[in-house]
Amino acid sequence: MRLVKSSDEIAAIQSLYARAHFLGVRQLAVYFETTAEAIRELLPPPLEPAPDPLGVALFTEVGNSNCMGAFNGGGVYLRARYQDITGHYCVAAPRSTVDAVTVGREIFGEPTKLAKVVLETTAEHVWGHAERHEVRYFSARGRCDEDGAPGRDEFSTFQFKFLPRSDGACCECPPRLVHVISTLSATSARRGRGELVFRESPHDPLADIPVRQVVEAVYSEGESYASAHVLCEVDPEAFLPYSFARSDALELLAENSIVHGQASRTSRDGRGKWRKVSG
């Protein structure tokens, strides 16, 4: 039965997740300055702001991988630290495939959402954008006309793994703070000026993050590896206000379901009857 794995198959799968390998990687990274107040408000405890209020917006095309296949992805990260570890807290993680959404959430704790993610390049310019609910809520561009140094670059991120309780109250078990280390081995790199735009979206409110200035844009090609481990358990009540960031605006979804239900009320005597709303 293929739905039940043998011990050898389990060991093979676990080894893939333990060191995820991404091939044919093309990536645009746009580094920006925000405000210390915004970072302080967005970081769940026990994360704390790093000394400089910096962030990075990423757009990535992955030609293949050993754990989620080929996909396009994006991300918005804010500089943060936990004790003596400095890294980036992941605020948003659009992904172009269901496999990338599932593995990103279940293994690494990323706040992944299914989206249309595009990365395009010309001789000098690189464009990236993510689109959900017909809103292009996250766009970046780089004029990368200066040669960069190829080589290994390590990117450290913080994620939170948690599972809502079946009754919707808080978490099924204490959330866990996960430290993910991604190492990009770049065969080529270019750098230059960048632009970054967060557009208003009720489901993906990145527009709440102020962008004071764009520092630099870097385009690179190569392959990368990622591994993760749990740093600590987190107080569920303290984390609760931050736990809805990976969901769409539930109040709007509920409101729309009522409107659709009212529109479907029909009867011959005019009193109306509720009909089940699909979807």
Give the domain CATH number at 65.
2.40.400.10
Contact 132, 201 (CB under 8 A): yes
Please state, rounded to an integer, the average pLDDT across all residues of the chain. Answer: 90
> Are both 258 and 124 inside the same structural domain?
no
pLDDT (average), residues 65-75: 95
Statement: residue 45 has pLDDT above 50: yes
> Are both 75 and 211 inside the same structural domain?
yes
> Are both 239 and 253 inside the same structural domain?
no
> Are both 215 and 273 inside the same structural domain?
no
pLDDT (average), residues 229-245: 94
| Lowest model confidence (mean pLDDT) among 104-113, 223-232, 258-267, 270-279 | 270-279
The CA distance from 143 to 124, in Å, is 6
Strand ranges, E, within the chain: 20-33, 48-49, 54-65, 71-82, 85-95, 112-114, 116-121, 125-132, 135-147, 151-161, 176-198, 213-233
Burial of 92 (0-12, 13-18, 19+ CB in 10 A): buried
Characterize 17-48 residue by residue with b for buried, 16 or more Cβ atoms within 10 angstroms of its Cβ, and e for exposed: beebebeebbbbbbbbebeeebbeebbbebbe
pLDDT at 258: 55
Statement: residue 29 has pLDDT above 50: yes
> Are both 89 and 202 inside the same structural domain?
yes
CA distances from 77 to 45, 58, 110, 156, 278 (A): 16, 8, 11, 10, 36
In a domain, 69, yes or no: yes
> Are both 25 and 86 inside the same structural domain?
yes
pLDDT at 279: 43
Q: How many CB atoms lie within 10 A of CB 275?
A: 12
pLDDT at 273: 44
pLDDT (average), residues 166-174: 82
> Are both 242 and 253 inside the same structural domain?
no
| Global confidence as pTM | 0.88
In a domain, 98, yes or no: yes
pLDDT band at 257 (very low <50, low <70, confident <90, very high): low
The CA distance from 196 to 170, in Å, is 34
> Are both 27 and 120 inside the same structural domain?
yes
pLDDT band at 254 (very low <50, low <70, confident <90, very high): confident
The amino acid that residue 121 corresponds to is: T
In a domain, 4, yes or no: no
pLDDT (average), residues 216-229: 96
The CA distance from 90 to 92, in Å, is 6
The CA distance from 35 to 146, in Å, is 28
> Are both 236 and 261 inside the same structural domain?
no
Number of domains into which the chain is organized: 2
Q: How many CB atoms lie within 10 A of CB 7?
A: 7
Backbone phi, psi, residue 88, to 5°: -135, 130
Pairing of the two strands 151-161 and 48-49: unpaired
In a domain, 39, yes or no: yes
pLDDT (average), residues 21-47: 97
> Are both 172 and 266 inside the same structural domain?
no
Statement: residue 83 has pLDDT above 70: yes
Q: Give me the domain span that covers residue 189.
A: 11-248
> Are both 112 and 183 inside the same structural domain?
yes
Statement: residue 277 has pLDDT above 50: no
Pairing of the two strands 135-147 and 125-132: antiparallel
Summarize pLDDT for 89-99 with one digit per residue, the tens. Answer: 999 999 999 99
The amino acid that residue 171 corresponds to is: C
